[in-house]
Amino acid sequence: MSNRPIGIFDSGVGGLTVVKSLLERLPGESFVYYGDTAHVPYGSKSREELFQYAHDIIAFLLHQQVKTIVVACGTHSSVTLPELEKSCPVPILGVVKPGARAAVSATRCGKVGVIATQATVNSGSYTKNIKDIDPSLDVYSAACARFVPLIEAGILSGPETEQAIEEYVGPLLSQGIDTLVLGCTHYPFLAPLISRCAGQGLTLVDPACETVEELSEILRKGDLLNDRPDRNQREFYVSGNDESFYIVGRMLLGDVIRKVHRVDLY
Ligand code: DGL
């Protein structure tokens, strides 16, 4: 048993979709969340930049004595995690493998769409992980550069967001997909609008649910579940604007966010 926190990170509010699942599935756990808002969006950053950010954030989280790390970011799960997991001193997991598993279970017609950041799409991570499980599936991907700035600004509805959804998701629907992976952790906040725009018959996959299932298994097997759930801590740190994270974060997650600390790691 361990009452140490779980470390969770993303470029901004996207990883709160993982926090949301964590609060539902493992409400007694403590966590430290880091939103790298000084560098959002991650989707357009180079490999070198992403490695630099990941090293600094992981060092910060380890300093907070975390017992495990959740890379609550599709971009880092695709680009840096395969390298970082070789040397991380605590268990570390990302969202891509769980998301791929969930998509394979969900599809009936064998055609899966993936929407994600440019860096994630370029990495081919979702296609590879889905095809590793079932090579017969067809995977169609689209990079959605406009989504993250809209979500970081709390704009989850309205003509601008609807137009972006039609532009990105429309061509995937034309391919005949029945399952759409929300392959950037920001995107599940758009799920209600995507469902409305896409119509019935499209299953949306939020990788956060399966990621938290995997986390729960890791904690259980490692005897790391929190033995003092009554004394859990929930801390939020950002590298950039703490005020906008506080406002948009509370809009998305509610009053679990009590205070946001600004800490500059660079
Ligand atoms: N939410 C992250 C992801 O899943 C980062 C998005 C971004 O900052 O571009 O990819």
101 found inside a domain? yes
Among 8, 9, 10, 95, the mutation site with the greatest number of ligand 1 atoms within 8 A of its Cβ is 10
Pairing of strands 179-182, 234-238: unpaired
In which domain, by residue range, is 60 found?
Answer: 6-94+209-262
11 found inside a domain? yes
pLDDT of residue 227: 84
What's the CA gap between 28 and 21, in Å, rounded?
12
Regarding whether 82 and 14 lie in a shared domain, the answer is yes
Distance 211 CA to ligand 1 centre (A): 16
Specify the 3-state DSSP secondary structure of 7: strand
pLDDT of residue 2: 85
pLDDT of residue 228: 83
Do 100 and 77 meet the contact criterion of CB atoms below 8 Å apart? no
36 found inside a domain? yes
What's the CA gap between 174 and 192, in Å, rounded?
20
Regarding whether 137 and 38 lie in a shared domain, the answer is no
Look up 197 and say whether it is catalytic.
no
Distance 223 CA to ligand 1 centre (A): 31
Domain end point (choices 192, 207, 222): 207
pLDDT of residue 15: 98
Domain end point (choices 191, 207, 223): 207
**Digitized pLDDT (tens) for each residue of the chain, 266 residues in all:** 888 999 999 999 999 999 999 999 999 999 999 999 999 999 999 999 999 999 999 999 999 999 999 999 999 999 999 999 999 999 999 999 999 999 999 999 999 999 999 999 999 999 999 999 999 999 999 999 999 999 999 999 999 999 999 999 999 999 999 999 999 999 999 999 999 999 889 999 999 999 999 999 999 999 999 988 788 899 999 999 999 999 999 999 999 999 999 998 86
Regarding whether 106 and 203 lie in a shared domain, the answer is yes
Domain end point (choices 171, 187, 207): 207
Regarding whether 28 and 65 lie in a shared domain, the answer is yes
Regarding whether 110 and 10 lie in a shared domain, the answer is no
21 found inside a domain? yes
11 close to ligand 1 (CB < 6 Angstrom): yes
252 found inside a domain? yes
74 found inside a domain? yes
Angle at the Cα of 93 (from 92 to 94), degrees rounded to 5? 135
Number of independent structural domains in the chain: 2
Regarding whether 227 and 202 lie in a shared domain, the answer is no
Do 50 and 243 meet the contact criterion of CB atoms below 8 Å apart? no
51 found inside a domain? yes
1 found inside a domain? no
Specify the 3-state DSSP secondary structure of 208: helix
Regarding whether 122 and 39 lie in a shared domain, the answer is no
Regarding whether 35 and 11 lie in a shared domain, the answer is yes
């990883």: which residue's tokens?
A: 15
CATH number at residue 236: 3.40.50.1860
What's the CA gap between 121 and 183, in Å, rounded?
9
Look up 184 and say whether it is catalytic.
yes
pLDDT of residue 229: 79
Regarding whether 201 and 100 lie in a shared domain, the answer is yes
Regarding whether 77 and 166 lie in a shared domain, the answer is no
Regarding whether 196 and 117 lie in a shared domain, the answer is yes
For residue 59, what are the contacts with CB-CB under 8 A and spacing of at least 6?
265
In ligand 1, which atom is closest to the CA atom of 73?
4
DSSP annotation of 125 = H
Regarding whether 83 and 156 lie in a shared domain, the answer is no
pLDDT of residue 46: 97
Distance 15 CA to ligand 1 centre (A): 8
pLDDT of residue 199: 84
